[in-house]
Amino acid sequence: MRHNNGIRGAALATTAVMAVAAAVTAVLPGTAMAASTPTTAPSACPASALQVSAWQAADRPVGTGTGAAVVQFTNVSQKTCVLKGYPTVTGAGNTALKVTPTGKAAAVTVRPQGRAWVKLTFVQVQGEGDGYCVSGNTPAAYPTMVIGLPNSGKHQVALKDGWWAQCDNKVTATPVSAVEPS
């Protein structure tokens, strides 16, 4: 007889625990589903979420123009978002530069106040003063460039340390990266 009471007691205890769990779930809606609800991936960073700055890269080709620049994208929003792909580059006055991508693009998750970068390497201006292009074309200098990212808008940005100078309207660009280039 004791044995039957022990089984019945265990069954009652199990029923009581299940009743408490059900009551907690009823009081705290969504509690039981939280573990099984899939999280959604962050969406692309909208243009309004990004503050963009640029400076001449430490590692750049020999010459007197910009040579190479680092463009930094800072997430100034309160939401984590994603940047991916290669930039478009347009000089002030709507001169589109031909972008040659280098490296493999991958999504970069950018938390609030986090940063991501691209590096732009230009056909370098040669010589001093007025400078010249090896190709014979006239060098171009811009106070600002418009840098675009897929699904994240276009951003007009000046270099912190000079004007954008380049030859032949060509630029090589890295994809967005979580590692600051030199």
**How do the pLDDT tens digits run along the chain, 182 residues long?**
444 554 444 443 444 434 434 443 343 343 333 344 557 889 999 999 999 999 999 876 666 567 899 999 999 999 999 999 999 999 988 899 999 999 999 999 999 999 999 999 999 888 877 789 999 999 999 999 999 999 999 999 999 988 999 999 999 999 999 999 98
Q: Cα 78–84–86 angle (5° rounding)?
A: 130
Confidence (pLDDT) at 9: 45
Confidence (pLDDT) at 137: 95
Strand, coil or helix: what is 143? coil
Confidence (pLDDT) at 127: 82
Model confidence, pTM: 0.76
Q: Is 106 exposed, middle or buried (0-12, 13-18, 19+ CB in 10 A)?
A: exposed
Residues 6+ apart with CB under 8 A from 124: 60, 61, 62, 63, 64, 65, 66, 67, 166, 167
Distance CA 99, CA 59 (A): 19
Confidence (pLDDT) at 94: 87
Confidence (pLDDT) at 8: 43
Residues 6+ apart with CB under 8 A from 70: 54, 55, 56, 57, 117, 118, 119, 180, 181, 182
